Amino acid sequence: MQPFPASFLLFLYQIGLGGFFALAATPFHELERGFYKSTAGVLFAAALLSFVGKLNLYGVPWPRETALSASADMLFHLSFVIFAGLYLISLWGERLRLRARSFSCSVLVGTAGLALSSHAFRQAPLWSVETVLYPVSFFLSALLLGAVTVGMLIGHWYLIDTGQSIDPFVRVFKFFVYCLIAQTAYLMFLLLTLSLVGSAPTASGLERLWADHFVLLSARVLITHVAPLALSYMIWRTLQIPHTMAATGLFYVALLGVFVGEILGRQIMALTSLPF
């Protein structure tokens, strides 16, 4: 079972990776370069903090039984940080090829690293349904964290560039809503599937979840899914006015809910090894 610090460091990594996917949903040629500089800087800082924290948490050298998986995990994580840093550097200048390749590599390597990291939290055997379900759960959480972060940051940019078209803000907002709906649906699917065909360690984790941590799970669902879904309707209404300042304020509240709920999910994972 992984400790909570490891789960929290994964949370920071997911912000960085999901943020790059959210950036891909924006129209690159319709927003000022300054937005991408500031946003990529925030995402790079989250990924770097996660890497440094993980390095300090596990220490070097690693135990022999986990040396291979730990070193591979750290290698992918470091590669993601490097490519994200190269993308950030490329924004100062016109090195378009470097910018495109570093962005693509950061997304690809980061996704592979996240899939690898998910197996450190899985207690089920390799040949089990959990081997597929865990990486998908981690990936959807990353998309949601990145979408709400970029949504809040793009709202801030509209406070600076008041003459900007509302379309980029709407695109990021829609990406956030799609990610929120997808993760909400997947959570219900995950609960049902693991209850029916989960392995013995998963069944034990579910027993602990229902018996000891049901309140924690309920709070996680209400804060991460129910409240942001209601807020998304309010954001949509303010964008139709349009009133970007009010929409940004609502995105702040949505970000707080998603972040708190995802941290509660990391606590559930630390207690039960379930990706909720």
The predicted model gives 30-57 an average pLDDT of 88
Does pLDDT of 58 surpass 80? no
Distance of alpha carbon 82 from the chain centroid? 18
pLDDT band at 4 (very low <50, low <70, confident <90, very high): low
- pLDDT tens for 69-107 read 667 778 889 999 999 999 999 999 888 888 899 999 999
Report pLDDT for 65: 46
Write the pLDDT tens digit of every residue in 150-166.
999 998 888 877 677 88
The whole-number average pLDDT for the span 22-45 is 89
Predicted model pTM: 0.91
Distance CA 107, CA 84 (A): 9
Does position 108 have pLDDT exceeding 90, yes or no?
yes
Q: What would the mean pLDDT of 123-142 be, rounded to a whole number?
A: 84
3-state secondary structure at position 234: helix
- Residues 151, 174 contacting (CB under 8 angstroms): no
Q: How far apart are CA 62 and CA 228, in angstroms?
A: 40
DSSP state, residue 129: T
Q: What single DSSP character describes residue 124?
A: S
Q: Is the pLDDT of residue 10 over 60?
A: yes
